[in-house]
Amino acid sequence: MSARRPLPDRLEVAAPALAALVARLVSHAPGSVRTRALEAAFDRARDAFNRADMQAVFALFADDVEYVPPPPLYGGPPLRGRDTVLAFWIEQLGRFRSSSIENLSIEEAGPGHFVRRARLRHVPASEADPLEYVILQTTELRAGRVVRQVNELEGPA
């Protein structure tokens, strides 16, 4: 998978502590710089998800992250830990022929808090209709790492 990763993703996966330091530095930049960096980060996450590169998607998740998956895929208690989240998504992607995400909007809701509105589409391995939905994803960063992420269903796509 790493041969297809863009350089920023390779660096994030190989040196997450350095990437977290960069994220902390960017958090102190002027608003316009933070906005561009935020959009670029979520675009990279979108691209990594769409190529099924879960290592890159979750590279900056804290080891003890609290994660609430999208409700159409999961209805249990929050998942705990980066490895658990990674295993969840690897299992989910194995259920579908393809999965994709499209960023609809991204905003900084406060220091270290971001809200992304995104459309997800999962195409089953069978001939069943695709599963499509829109989420509101709230992400909390601390020290450049994702410490909490909650995905709530917004409504039909």
Domain count within the chain? 1
CATH number at residue 27: 3.10.450.50
CB 9 within 8 A of CB 16: no
What pLDDT, on a 0 to 100 scale, did the predictor assign at position 145?
A: 94
Question: What's the rounded Cα separation, in Å, for the pair 75 and 26?
Answer: 35
pLDDT tens sequence across 35-74? 888 899 899 999 999 999 999 999 999 999 999 999 999 9
Closest listed residue to residue 148, CA positions, set 26, 62, 84: 62
Q: Which domain holds residue 107?
A: 2-155
Tell me how far apart the alpha carbons of residues 130 and 148 are, in angstroms, rounded to a whole number.
28
For 2-24, how does the pLDDT look when each residue is reduced to its tens digit (9 = 90+)?
A: 458 888 888 888 888 888 888 88
Tens digit of each residue's pLDDT (9 = 90 or more) over 135-155? 999 999 999 999 999 999 996
Please state, in angstroms and rounded to a whole number, the distance separating the CA atoms of residues 75 and 93: 17
The arithmetic mean of pLDDT across residues 113-135, rounded, is 94
CB 108 within 8 A of CB 92: no
pLDDT of residue 26: 84
Q: Please state the rounded mean pLDDT for residues 107-122.
A: 94
Kindly indicate the confidence band of residue 157, based on its pLDDT and cuts at 50, 70 and 90: very low
